[in-house]
Amino acid sequence: MDLKKLIECAFSARQNSYSPYSHYMVGAAVLCRDGSIITGTNIENASYGATVCAERVAIFTAVASGHKDLVAIAVCGGSSDETDELSDYAYPCGICRQVMREFADPATFTVAVARSVSDYRKYTFEELFPDSFGPDNL
Ligand code: THU
């Protein structure tokens, strides 16, 4: 798995962030089982609750394009005055972790959070979201 490429795609998607309220720009890139990469960015709204995170935009776009078996996600986020060297790792929020769970094998799905293309941390989904509730529970 080429995580660096996935992270590059997340950084590229981050440039399209629509975040006029928080000024916090997030990019995400999902690697699908067939090797395709689908990206997303956070899209805010004047009615704040209608905002959608970058991860969910990427995952929903992947699923809407026919990719329901996801292998990995890369995420990067930081203030709009930062570009390719971010000060923090942006961890996916709880709602995004639950959405990932639907389309990920918890033991093998990889989550990479990046401050730059060469500075990232890598986890299995299970490490970030243990004892989760998923499709197999129904
Ligand atoms: N955000 C994401 O895109 N992903 C997350 O996992 C956490 C938060 C976005 C939503 C909002 O546009 C901004 O970051 C501040 O919360």
CA–CA separation, 12 and 83 (whole Å): 10
Among candidate residues 55, 102, 126, 127, the one labeled active-site is 55
Superfamily in which the 3-137 domain is placed by CATH: Cytidine Deaminase, domain 2 (3.40.140.10)
Question: Is the CB of 92 within 6 Å of ligand 1?
Answer: yes
For tokens 């979201």, what's the residue? 129
Per-residue pLDDT reduced to its tens digit, 11-62: 999 999 999 999 999 999 999 999 999 999 999 999 999 999 999 999 999 9
Q: How many contiguous H segments (helices) and E segments (strands) does the chain have?
A: 4, 5
pLDDT of 117: 97
Average pLDDT over residues 120-128: 98
- Residue 1 reports pLDDT greater than 90: no
> For residue 85, how far is its CA from the centre of ligand 1 (angstroms)?
18
In whole angstroms, how far apart are CA 5 and each of 31, 39, 107, 117?
A: 10, 12, 22, 8
- Residue 132 reports pLDDT greater than 90: yes
* pTM to 2 decimal places: 0.97
Find, among 89, 32, 90, 78, the residue nearest to 59 by Cα: 32
**Domain residue limits, the chain:** 3-137
Residue minimizing CA distance to atom 9 of ligand 1:
53
